[in-house]
Structure 1
Amino acid sequence: MSRVDKIVQNVSGLLSAGAYKAGERLPSVRQAAREHGVSKNTMADAYDRLVAQGLLEARAGSGYYVAQFQIVRPAPQAPHVAAAVDIVSLLREQLDQHYEVRPGDGRPPAFWTEGSELKRFFSGFKTAEPASVDFGYGSSWGYAPLRERLRMLLLERSISVPPDGLLLTHGVNHGLDLIIRHLIEPGDTVFVDDPGYYPLFGKLTLAKAHMVGIRRGPDGPDLEDLAAKLAVHRPKVFFTQSHAHNPTGGTLSPAVAFGLMQLAERSGFLIVENDALADIVPATLPRLAALDQLNRVLYVGTFSKTLSASLRCGFVAGHPSIVGALSNLKMLTMVATSDYVERFVFNLIQGGQYLRHLRRLKARVEEAHKASGAQLEAAGLKVRQSVTPGFYLWAEFPGDVDELELCRRAAERSIFLAPGSVFSPDRGVRGPAAIRVNVAYGTNPAFIDFLREQIR
């Protein structure tokens, strides 16, 4: 610590302990400098930092005084806000990084992504020559060359997007947030995958929507369950994930995709198709957006899962009438996304680094997916089979297991688990005890040994 840091720490500690009363004058700069054995400039710098922190008040010609600060106690949260925060408690654990072994994580380790082509590219990247850099906000639609490149990439998935039908976002979660703000009113019924993407449940809870879970099978939403729920409910939107499904790892089959679109057309609901891991699964897999050509489907994607969690860059593709409204909403709530991040991603794609990176990432995922499934089954769990390798496996426990108690025991060994109940929109309804396993950590010896012990 510098001398200034030490003085600031010392004085702020005295203030917190009540050594000075509010409004009391502190020793002059000259006197305090002598007491701390530093120069007057150093002492004045320390006092100025304390002023900047709101702990002191500078009065011209008089000196420094204790500010009238007090601890602000947070107001109680509204019930729907408290419920939403409780739903995403797993996300908080992922972000805080307390655990040594992390099979419950939502994304692969950094060395799978940032440590390959990207690390070299990060160090030498420049957005443009200084004279050509635009230091303004940029368009609310996002960086135009990247939007055009994405339109070309989506054609490989048989999705034709008009020029005004694609909006860049801060990843999938931002796209989902904009869609919910635009389409969902309090009390609206929405369908979601069950099990499904739990951060979405938190957003819908904040929006005061009525969530109804549609049973998720190995090849997509269960059409019989969907038809039965449609006989009772009139959903405005069905939020679903097509491939490398989070959390089950399942893949949408052509038959289920076709049946789902028929039911949507007949019942009049919109579909939001989350395809966050599209870049590591085959482009030829069936997409709802390809069947529908963005008539009643909004298609959401991201680079954050396959590049870096810190590179918040994604998109929403859909009918221009809806995407235009989302662009206006984005402009009102945050003006624009980061032009620098979007240029960075565009240059990675154009330079071929992203393609080379994806080749390595796919190979790692395929190997880890196979090895993790084998280890989990050998430990005694029932692993849901998935046709296409992805980041996740869904593993069920035999017999009667308390998921939360299991997670508590794992935490005592610094193992982070993602319990199956978190991924259900109705956490009061219990199915077989299960966990979502990130394949990057599925063969960790400490994790596998723990599972064997618990099952025994």
Structure 2
Amino acid sequence: MPRTSNARVTRAGRIVQHVSGLLSAGAYKPGERLPSVRQAAREHGVSKNTMADAYDQLVAQGLLEARAGSGYYVAQFQLPRAVPPAPHVAAAVDVVSLLREQLDQHYEVRPGDGRPPAFWTEGSELKRYFSGFKTAEPEAVDFGYGSSWGYAPLRERLRMWLLERSISVQPDGLLLTHGVNHGLDLIIRHLIEPGDTVFVDDPGYYPLFGKLTLAKARMIGIRRGPDGPDLEDLAARLAVHRPKVFFTQSLAHNPTGSTLSPAVAFGLMQLAERWGFLIVENDALADIVPTTLPRLAALDQLNRVLYVGTFSKTLSASLRCGFVAGHPSLVGALANLKMLTTVATSDYVERFVFNLIQGGQYLRHLRRLKARVEEAHKASCAGLEAVGLKVRQSVTPGFYLWTEFSGEIDELELCRKAAERSIFLAPGSLFRPDRASGGRAAIRVNVAYGTNPAFLDFLSEQVR
């Protein structure tokens, strides 16, 4: 069996090289359809599986597009050319408690976790890749720090991916990071001075609140609705406050699961332009949601939007790899700050991620992950509603659901009771920038654990 597998991969690789050469020579025009898998397999004298593998690698490299039910087409994206360079802790600690449990893991049932289970990620293509640990193309490794900007081929591949999301990034407009949190930390260090006013989602991403607290920023929450930030609430706050930055997550929002609508996206960008504030858009789950969904960075083309992404949510929490994209003047300053604080990110990790992409393993992994998320999202919604809880609906299945309790329920007492049964909950108050503001008791539920019988039985008892 190993000989057959290696031979199949070798044949697929030769096909990839052959088709890549044809594309480079202009044998196919952008948008032109390639022969079907069956026809191409006959022409190359290989099995349909081998041909499909070769096409998948070409899609992963950005050379082809796969259209469901139609076939494979030559990609139409072109990267912008390079331009000549211009001359030249106490208050935050309580927020960390939820993070600490996600790392140390004392509880058996984990609906409050922020990440998918390991078998959804590490147990997929990643495990297979580690077992063989072969790179797509053998290359010499420098054994140095690497560039402070990050591994160049991965940066170029990311720029191509962002074009698929209608976001055009200049060569010096993308910086690799250790993940979203590292990107947010760099942005806060560079932009925020003590006493500066910033807007955040309410409810929103709690690790961000801890970073802003450490930076001594003044946080103002903007109510998060089912289709994004509430524009009426935003307008009312703008009449009183002058924020420097608005930190938000557009798609598959953490913790509510909501997704930005086109109307809200357009209205938000109009207000940003009128009032002169920057936007930091967190798109941590971009790889499992459709590329056609509205993104602020696509509307703005990185003029006043900094766009932050990661592989750590969808690939592995242990592979700390992400990026910040934005205007070159801002991203260049972040690159300098990164060099001063961490010198560089891991060249090994970035090469590893790049080779997963180039070899097609990441694409195959995402297909499985999306299917698992969609199934778990649907089942978790049904399970929570069956015990009498109302779930905030989302048009885009993601990792998270937000459910509020009716009546008088003490969140801390609820978490204490759950802990006695080794059930880890994520209380809603942790996701509020002002935890004393009140509101209904709520929890964030990870869809991977939303149908756990012990968890649902516990909730049913509390609702009754």
Q: In 1, are the aligned partners of 2:117 and 2:448 still within 8 Å (CA)? A: yes
Q: Distance in 2 between matches of 1:325 and 1:125?
A: 35
Q: In 1, are the aligned partners of 2:136 and 2:355 still within 8 Å (CA)? A: no
Q: Distance in 1 between matches of 2:195 and 2:135?
A: 45
* Aligned match of 2:124: 116
Corresponding position: 1:244 with 2:246: no
SS at the partner of 1:108?
coil
Identity %: 91
Q: Which runs of 4+ in 1 moved over 6 A?
A: 128-131
Following superposition, the deviation at residue 452 of structure 1 comes to 0.4
Following superposition, the deviation at residue 122 of structure 1 comes to 1.2
* Aligned match of 1:205: 213
* Aligned match of 1:55: none
Q: How does 1:307-456 map to 2 (within 5 A)?
A: 307-456=315-464
TM-score scaled to structure 2, two decimals?
0.80
SS at the partner of 1:435?
strand
**Larger Rg: 1 or 2?**
1
Q: Distance in 1 between matches of 2:283 and 2:138?
A: 36
Q: In 1, are the aligned partners of 2:174 and 2:331 still within 8 Å (CA)? A: yes
Residue among 91, 94, 104 paired with 2:112: 104
How many pairs were matched up?
A: 376
Q: In 2, are the aligned partners of 1:147 and 1:168 still within 8 Å (CA)? A: yes
Q: How does 1:118-267 map to 2 (within 5 A)?
A: 118-126=126-134, 132-267=140-275
Q: Distance in 2 between matches of 1:179 and 1:154?
A: 20
Q: Distance in 1 between matches of 2:133 and 2:167?
A: 31
Q: In 2, are the aligned partners of 1:380 and 1:398 still within 8 Å (CA)? A: no
Deviations 1:83-113 (A, max 9, x none): 1011221111111100000000001100000
Structure 1 alignment gaps of length 5 or more = 1-80
Decide whether aligned partners of structure 1 residues 229 and 136 sit closer, same or farther in structure 2, where only a CA change above 3 A counts. Answer: same
Q: In 1, are the aligned partners of 2:279 and 2:304 still within 8 Å (CA)? A: yes
Q: Distance in 1 between matches of 2:97 and 2:125?
A: 33
Deviations 1:148-186 (A, max 9, x none): 000000000000000000000000000000000000000
The AA in structure 2 aligned to 1:95 is: L
Q: In 2, are the aligned partners of 1:125 and 1:344 still within 8 Å (CA)? A: no
Q: Distance in 1 between matches of 2:98 and 2:360?
A: 35
Q: Distance in 2 between matches of 1:305 and 1:226?
A: 29
* Aligned match of 2:286: 278
Following superposition, the deviation at residue 132 of structure 1 comes to 1.4
Decide whether aligned partners of structure 1 residues 118 and 131 sit closer, same or farther in structure 2, where only a CA change above 3 A counts. Answer: closer
Following superposition, the deviation at residue 127 of structure 1 comes to 5.6
Q: Distance in 2 between matches of 1:132 and 1:347?
A: 14
The AA in structure 2 aligned to 1:368 is: A
Q: Distance in 2 between matches of 1:115 and 1:242?
A: 29
SS at the partner of 1:105?
coil
SS at the partner of 1:106?
coil
Q: Distance in 2 between matches of 1:107 and 1:397?
A: 23
Which has the larger displacement, 142-151 or 120-129?
120-129
TM-score scaled to structure 1, two decimals?
0.82
The AA in structure 2 aligned to 1:388 is: T
Deviations 1:209-241 (A, max 9, x none): 000000000100000000000000000000000
SS at the partner of 1:200?
helix
Which has the larger displacement, 296-305 or 396-405?
396-405
Following superposition, the deviation at residue 358 of structure 1 comes to 0.3
Q: In 1, are the aligned partners of 2:136 and 2:358 still within 8 Å (CA)? A: no
Q: Distance in 1 between matches of 2:391 and 2:140?
A: 53
SS at the partner of 1:415?
coil
Deviations 1:23-65 (A, max 9, x none): xxxxxxxxxxxxxxxxxxxxxxxxxxxxxxxxxxxxxxxxxxx
